[in-house]
Structure 1
Amino acid sequence: MSELDAVRDAGAAGAPDPLCFVLMPFGRKSDVTGATIDFDAVYRELIAPAVRAADLEPLRADEEVTGGIVHKPMFERLILCEFAVADLTFANANVFYELGVRHAVRPYSTVLLFAAGTRLPFDVELDRGIPYALTPTGAPADLDAARRRLSERLMAARDASVDSPVFQLIEGFPEIDRLKTDVFRDQVRYSTMWKERLERARRQGLQAVRAAERELGDLRNVEAGILVDVYLSYRAVNGHEEMVSLAARLPRPLARTPLVREQLGFALNRLGRREEAERVLLALIGERGPSSETYGLLGRVYKDMWSDAREAGEELLAEGLLEKAVEAYLAGFEADWRDAYPGINAVSLMEFQEPPDPRREQLLPVVAYAVDRRLDSGQSDYWDHATRLELAVLAKDEAATRRALGRALAMVRENWEPESTAGNLRLIREARSRRGDDVPWAEAAEQELLRRAGRSSAG
């Protein structure tokens, strides 16, 4: 079994059930013929049990419609939930509107059903809906067969067969691959007032970010962009306990996005809860597949475990953990060669091995090329310049180190960033010193980074 296969198996074992959003009317409803259906019974007795039997978690839509306008949280659930079931009985206008949104953004994983005898509009007649029988009182009948059909259809939907008529009929129709919550704060579009409010709070510190969160009230009614910014604002002020707490209180569709789960792993690791962080990240990899970001965070967990073992004097354990960290970073770099971050970490950790891993000589030019392309794109961030800095130190190029250091210092967004880079440079310096390969000027770069982070080496 390969390293990647082992990680996937380990992660899948701990992965939570995917969410299935249920679009349907509520309560007892009647049509123009006088036929009445108890939709709450349909959900309780038919849909929810069938969804759970398919190893999914049902999430029923709240009645969040005023004046015919669907609220933003409803849109977010329609877009973010991995699966959906839509009951089209009585051609409810809200349900059809929500189904249209779903079909426009999700090419597959939406299952339709309806009460037997329902005449569906032409636009959805081509879809393979599932009929269900009713008792004279409007409750679902023949439950075992109906549940089985719905569960089977939901399990088949895992195979990613296109069921959206938009994606079926329009070749090349664009799919939303990275959802709005899967981008960082500077790419999220939402209320300017709240964006400025949280920028001020980050400058003021942890208590101010806590106060801003309290102003939000019920998180279920807050749009995803604001919640993501609050979450990342806690990260910026080292509010790692608050990140873990907020992640547990976010609406489930948002809490299950890769961004939130990756940053939860980050926060748990910062709190020293390394095994929990490892489980969160392995579960995400097992469910979503390899990602440079997720593997990069997992590599950091193993790197910190390695550091813990070294401090405890457990040298053999430390050697094994260092190897795991290298392999995790390598898997991240191989998942996306354009992302130099896991690549530079793999190369740096290879420098710490005794003897140094010979693969680093092959990787160094590849990592350098990847970061140069990012720098040339005009879309670089702190980590790109920090990568160029570490490459210069590894190459023992003092002039290049000085240039890269100045640019990295100018790009710092959060204090923990230069602190992290300083830690990497210190480890490189110490590893070389043990081999009698001292580079006196390298320590000055560490001190500059720590000063930018608001710390001294003694602190």
Structure 2
Amino acid sequence: MPFGTKSDGMGGTVNFDKVYHQIIKPAIEQAGLEPLRADEEVIGGFIHKPMFERLILCEYAVADLTAANANVFYELGVRHAVRPWSTVMLFAQGGRLPFDIAPIRTLPYQLDPVGNPSAAETDQSALTALLNEARRTAGEHERGPIDSPLYQIVEGYPAIDHTKTDVFRNKVAYSEAIKKKLAEARTQGLAAVQEVAVTLGDLSNQEAGVLIDLLLSYRAVNSWTSMTELVERMPRPLADTALIQEQYGFALNRAGRGQDAERVLTDLVKRRGPSSETLGILGRVYKDQWEAALVKGDRRVANALLDKAITTYLWGFEADWRDAYPGINAVTLMSMKDNIDPRQQQLLPVVRYAVERKVSAGTPDYWDYATLLELAVLADDEIAADQYLGLAFTTAYDSFAPTTTARNLRLIRESKERRGESKNWIQELEAELLAKANPPAKANGNS
């Protein structure tokens, strides 16, 4: 783990010494083990020698993955390469784990706003339980459950037959060919994507990159049911990653299964902690439920769902201020209330700053310009809105994206009209966006 107070990579800090002394060390002792941390060793000579000895020889290891510290991940890789089991991982709740680690069981712990443990006793008990479980299973089976992904996934590791290298080369070439076919199929519609999917055969034999590409291809052609069915057929380690579960929740909601989507996304937040992406999608679930309640005329339920959607989007924005998506949705929905939420004026410049920083970094996408478009519409800036609409159309986007933006502009326009403001120019922007969306014939009926 890192030592001292370090950046968490999201604008805050973590006091790793307090994490060690208040959570990790007492948890290890409570499990009947002896804690050993590198900076507590008073030893001369080349520091890497005792480090490698510890990683290889210690019966149990605890790794804190918070902030994706390079040294920690290197040492974790060494550990996983030589020890099939007995490595326990944890991270500060609210951070996002890198994709390669996301499928592995990892314990989140809680910090206060200044980076100190905020639920030390609870987190200590949870870590002790994991260590006790590792000790119990090791005692029963003379080894613990395999937790190293190398030993879990790579058949025969570490004694790999040299002939597998030829198989590997063939798989790489095959995967690249499939990805090119999917890229072409996305431009032709659902039927073309399905034709490529049929050629894949048993999904358990496909590499993760191909399956993710197929999932996003279904998303690009608005085939929500195909997305959900694909996730349900994926190998569990891949299906359980945050990326796939987020897309699963997204697709379930678009397929009209809002309650299932809510269950998937709230469970992901519990397991992985809050993130702007997960909460942005969950906010959309509540946003859709709010509109459905309005259509039914159930005003009381609609008001409660509107507040729930705003709270969820705000939670997502606070999880990562750099991601403007949940922020713009929060301020847009604040306009929908009978009396505009007073927090809107405080948040508008923060959301603008977040998206402008992303644009200035040189990597703007459709959603960045769509966010600036919505901000311009909220500010009644017709000239800027027209400019950002044009910029949005110059970027690559999935077919559902313009429809989503048109819907948001409609909500803003209708809220302004309820307050007696006529905004025909906004309606013209909506029409342009809808004209850019794929025609219904290219969708699968669930869009």
Q: Same fold (TM over 0.5)?
A: yes
Does the CA-based 8 Å contact 2:413-2:427 persist in structure 1? yes
Q: Does 1:415 align with 2:399?
A: yes
- Paired position in structure 2 for 1:391: 375
Distance 2:428 2:173 in 1: 40
Q: Which amino acid aligns with 1:300?
A: R
Distance 1:298 1:131 in 2: 34
- The C-alpha deviation readout for 1:116-137, integer Å capped at 9, x for no partner, is xxxxxxxxxxxx9x999xxxxx
- Paired position in structure 2 for 1:294: 278
Q: Does 1:100 align with 2:102?
A: no
1:211, CA displacement in angstroms?
1.5
Q: Does 1:342 align with 2:326?
A: yes
Does the CA-based 8 Å contact 1:258-1:284 persist in structure 2? yes
Q: Are residues 214 and 395 of structure 1, via their aligned partners in 2, closer, same or farther at CA, if it must alter by over 3 Å?
A: same
Distance 2:395 2:78 in 1: 44
- The C-alpha deviation readout for 1:218-274, integer Å capped at 9, x for no partner, is 111111100000011011111111111110110111000111100110111011110
Does the CA-based 8 Å contact 2:190-2:223 persist in structure 1? yes
**In structure 2, the residue corresponding to 1:319 is in which secondary structure?**
helix
**In structure 1, the residue corresponding to 2:422 is in which secondary structure?**
coil
- The C-alpha deviation readout for 1:126-180, integer Å capped at 9, x for no partner, is xx9x999xxxxxxxxxx998239977x99xx9xxxxxx9xxxxxxxxxxxxxxxx
Candidates 271, 279, 294, aligned match of 1:310: 294
- The C-alpha deviation readout for 1:95-121, integer Å capped at 9, x for no partner, is x99941889xx984899xxxxxxxxxx
Q: Are residues 240 and 437 of structure 1, via their aligned partners in 2, closer, same or farther at CA, if it must alter by over 3 Å?
A: same
- Paired position in structure 1 for 2:344: 360
Distance 2:213 2:222 in 1: 14
Q: What are the equivalent positions in structure 2 for 1:48-447 lying under 5 Å apart?
A: 99-100=80-81, 108=89, 146-147=139-140, 191-447=175-431
Distance 1:385 1:407 in 2: 6
Q: Which amino acid aligns with 2:140?
A: R
Q: Which amino acid aligns with 1:415?
A: S
Q: Which amino acid aligns with 2:350?
A: V
Q: Are residues 145 and 334 of structure 1, via their aligned partners in 2, closer, same or farther at CA, if it must alter by over 3 Å?
A: closer
Does the CA-based 8 Å contact 2:137-2:143 persist in structure 1? no
* Number of residue equivalences: 304
Q: Are residues 220 and 131 of structure 1, via their aligned partners in 2, closer, same or farther at CA, if it must alter by over 3 Å?
A: closer
- The C-alpha deviation readout for 1:412-434, integer Å capped at 9, x for no partner, is 42110010000000010001101
Does the CA-based 8 Å contact 1:190-1:225 persist in structure 2? no
Q: Are residues 315 and 331 of structure 1, via their aligned partners in 2, closer, same or farther at CA, if it must alter by over 3 Å?
A: same
Does the CA-based 8 Å contact 1:189-1:225 persist in structure 2? no
Distance 1:378 1:335 in 2: 23
- The C-alpha deviation readout for 1:404-456, integer Å capped at 9, x for no partner, is 01001122421100100000000100011011022221111111111111459
Q: Which amino acid aligns with 1:147?
A: E
**In structure 2, the residue corresponding to 1:191 is in which secondary structure?**
helix
Does the CA-based 8 Å contact 1:368-1:388 persist in structure 2? yes
Which runs of no fewer than 5 residues in structure 1 stay unpaired?
1-81, 83-95, 112-127, 133-142, 158-163, 165-187
Distance 1:362 1:236 in 2: 35
- The C-alpha deviation readout for 1:316-362, integer Å capped at 9, x for no partner, is 00000000000000000000000000000000000001101010000
- Paired position in structure 2 for 1:168: none
Q: Which amino acid aligns with 2:414?
A: E
Does the CA-based 8 Å contact 1:296-1:332 persist in structure 2? yes
Q: Are residues 381 and 102 of structure 1, via their aligned partners in 2, closer, same or farther at CA, if it must alter by over 3 Å?
A: farther
Does the CA-based 8 Å contact 1:412-1:418 persist in structure 2? no
Does the CA-based 8 Å contact 2:283-2:310 persist in structure 1? yes
Q: Are residues 397 and 266 of structure 1, via their aligned partners in 2, closer, same or farther at CA, if it must alter by over 3 Å?
A: same
Q: Are residues 98 and 149 of structure 1, via their aligned partners in 2, closer, same or farther at CA, if it must alter by over 3 Å?
A: closer
Which runs of no fewer than 5 residues in structure 2 stay unpaired?
1-62, 64-76, 91-103, 106-130, 151-171, 441-446
Does the CA-based 8 Å contact 2:314-2:330 persist in structure 1? yes
- Paired position in structure 1 for 2:434: 450
Distance 2:173 2:363 in 1: 18
Does the CA-based 8 Å contact 1:418-1:449 persist in structure 2? yes
Q: Which amino acid aligns with 2:407?
A: G
TM-score, normalised with respect to structure 2: 0.62
Distance 1:212 1:326 in 2: 40
Q: Which amino acid aligns with 2:422?
A: D
Q: Which amino acid aligns with 2:81?
A: G
